[in-house]
Amino acid sequence: MTAAFSPFSIDAGIVTRLREDFRQRGVAVLLEPALDAHLWRDLCHEAQVQRGQGAWRLLSQNNVFEINQNNMRGHLGPFARGLLHGSSTLSLLRSVTKRNLEPSWSASCYTYYDEPGSYMGEHCDKFDACRVAFLFYLQSCWPVGASPGPGLGLHVFEGDTSRSALLARVTARPNRALILNGAKQAHLRPPLAPGESLIMLAGCFRLTGKK
Ligand SMILES: [Fe+2]
């Protein structure tokens, strides 16, 4: 690993693999540890603080006009903002997606699936506000002796509906991250089982218009 990609724990070979995965499947996974351990811990702490300060619930069930979901959201803090607009992040996104991207602050947030039954229904991200998503799994847990259940896996489809082929199921392990072509490819998270939880930083990026 080289300092050139700090705070990401990756090297040039991994970037090449990420670019190819993104091209082929629409999702590129930075295996744990994706981030420098100090930053990861700072983000975990910030997410916990934000959960207790002004977090809000997104709840929509059986609604044909909105994304069906049940989870909690929290405002970004300085560590999250610093990561999302950091030069390494933008450079990595450009290398992997071949697009010039900038943070879309209004669409980015901490996301908490911290109750049994929390989920995110099938959807594509908003094309203008979240052309590409960069998701950072901070903390996740499941019962001792069990495997992560379906709700700890992000299901990513080939097209804009779950009727298309399932291309990937990415397990939310702590300090794992993924770059997602979420505006064009449907994705969903099934309901969490008892004993499971997940806290993540959901970064949304829009096109800058720069060539
Ligand atoms: Fe999404």
| 1-27 pLDDT tens trace | 556 799 999 999 999 999 999 999 999
What's the pLDDT score for residue 39? 98
Q: Domain spans of the chain?
A: 25-60+78-207
User: What pLDDT sits at residue 4?
Assistant: 74
* Cβ burial, residue 8 (10 Å; 0-12/13-18/19+): buried
Å from CA of 5 to ligand 1 middle: 26
pLDDT in tens, 36-71: 999 999 999 999 999 999 999 999 988 888 899 999
pLDDT tens digit string along 105-151?
Answer: 999 999 999 999 999 999 999 999 999 999 999 999 999 999 999 99
Q: 125: CA distance to ligand 1 center in Å?
A: 5
Q: Model pTM? A: 0.96
Inter-residue contact 29 to 178 (CB < 8 Å): yes
Please tell me the class of the 25-60+78-207 domain.
mainly beta
Interval between CA 2 and ligand 1 midpoint (Å): 31
pLDDT grade for 196, boundaries at 50, 70 and 90 = very high
Q: Could you tell me the distance, in angstroms and rounded to a whole number, from the CA of residue 135 to the centre of ligand 1?
A: 9
Q: Which pLDDT does position 112 carry in this prediction?
A: 98
DSSP H/E element including 6: none
Q: Tell me how far the alpha carbon of residue 84 lies from the centroid of ligand 1, in angstroms.
A: 17
Give residue 32's identity as a one-letter amino acid code.
E
Cα(183) to centroid of ligand 1, in Å? 8
